Structure 1
C-alpha cells in the first residue's frame, strides 16, 4: 500500500514537471513570434513610400492646394509650357493633388480658383516628380439671410471687384463660397438689392456676414365688388425715388426689404397707394377693389341677303 502511494506521487510529480516544460515551450514560441512581428513591423515602417513610375522621357508634377478649412481641394489646373519670357503653349489639363506627367521644361500653371491664379516658372525634370505645395489659397464667405418667416432664404449674390465693377462670380446666400484672398463688393439679390462694400477675405479664414431677417411679406389683394379675387399686374416702387423694385401679379406674396413703397395696380383705371410701410419679419396686406373684366360679347350674326333671282333665258327669234 505504501509503495502504491509512492508510485502515484512520483507520477503526479512527473506530470507536473512535464506540464511546466510544455507551458514554457509554448510561451517562448509566442514571444519569439511577437518579437519577429514587431521587428518586421518596425522594418516595414522604416521603408520609404514606393517611387512613382514615370514614363520614359517624362517628368511629373503634383500640385497640392488647401481650402480655408485646411482640406485638399481638387481644383482644375492647366499647364502651359514656357517658350520664352512672354509666351507659352497649352500642354495639359489636370486636377490638384493628382500627378500629371509632362515633358521636361519650365511651366506656368493656371489654377481655376475664384478668381483664377497663375504660378510661373515651375521646373519639370526628366524622371523626377516635382511637388508644388501651394498651401492654403482661399478664404471663404458665408452670407446668412432669413426671409419674413424666419427661415433660411437663398438669394443670388454677385462678387464684384470694387474698383472696376467687374463681376468675379455668382453664388447663393447661406452657402459657403471659397474665394481667393482680397477685398470685394457683394451684391445680394433681394428686392430691392442690397450691397456690402469692401468685404475682406483672408486666406484660411471664413468670413461670415449675418444679415438676419431683412425682408417683410407684402400681399396685394385685388377683388371685385363681390369680393372675388381678380388677378391684376402690380408694380412696386421705392417711395423716395420711384425706382421700380418689382413687377408681379396680385394675390400672391412678395418678399421686400423693409422700407416704404408705392404700390401700383395696373387695372382700368389704374390705382395706387403711397408710402406703404413694410417691416422685416412681418406681413402686410393691401387691398384694392377693381372692376371685373367685362364678359366678352359674341359678335352679332351677319345679316344674310337673299340671293338675286336667276335671269330667265331669252328665246331665240
Structure 2
C-alpha cells in the first residue's frame, strides 16, 4: 500500500508540471499579454516599458525557467491591476471549492440512487426514462440549466435567491468574522447567527444543482451499468443461493463493488466541475475562482489566467492522488 501511494505521490509534481508547461506555452502562442490587455490604452513605448518590467522581452526559455522558479516559491505572478494572483486564489479559491463540494453532494444524491434504481429495474420504462435523463443533464449547457433554474425557482416562484453567495447585508457582516475562511457556510457558523447560515445555504442551492446535475448524469449511468454487471457475478449468484434477499444481495454484496468506478472517475469529474464552474459562477454571480477567471479572460489578462489555471492544475493533480488512495482502500486488487 505504501509503495503504491508513494508512486502516486511522485506523480503529483509530474502531472502539475506537464499541465503548467502546456498552459505556459499556449499563453505565449496566443500572443503578448501586455499588448493584448493594454494595447488599446497605451502607446508603443509604454507597452515596451511594461514588457521590459515584466520580463516578456527575454528569450522564451528564460521566461519559462523564471516562471517555474516563481511557482516553486508560491509566486503565481501579478495581474494587470497589480494584484498578486496568489492573493486572488486564496480569496476566491475557497468559494469555488465550496461550490464544487455542494455540487458533488447533489451529484451523489441524485446520480447514485437513481442509477441503483435503474439497474434493479433494467429495461423497464423507468430505466429508459432515467437513461434519457442522464444523457439530457450531461448534454445540456450548464449556463442554460442555471438560467432555467433561476427563471423557475427564483423569478417565478420566488423560493430562492437569484444570484450571489449571500445577501448583501450578510456578506458585509461576515467580512468581520475572525478567523475568516472565505467559505460562507463556515464563516456563518463562526458568526453564530442561524439566520445568516440559512441565507448562505439558500444562495448555494441553485448553483449547486446546476453544476451537480452535470456530473449526476455520469454517476447515474456508471452506477447502473456497473451494478448490472456486478449482479451477474458468480459471488452474487452464490449469495442468492444461500437464501439472501434481493435487497441484501444488492446492497451488501453488489453495490459496494459497483461503486469502485464512481470513485475512480470522481477525480476527473472534479476537474470537469472546476472547468464548468466558470459558467456556473458567471451565471449566478458566485464570486469564486471561475468568476474571476472569466473576468480576466474578458480583460485579456493572460498572466492572471495562467496563474489561476496553474493553481487549478495543482488541485486536479492532488485530487487524482486522493482518488487513487480511496480506490486502493476500497479495492485491494489495485495495489498489486
User: Normalising to structure 2: TM-score of the pair?
Assistant: 0.18
Structure that is richer in helix per residue:
2
User: Normalising to structure 1: TM-score of the pair?
Assistant: 0.19
Please say which structure displays the higher CA radius of gyration.
1
- Which protein, 1 or 2, shows the higher relative CO under an 8 Å CA cutoff with sep ≥ 6? 2
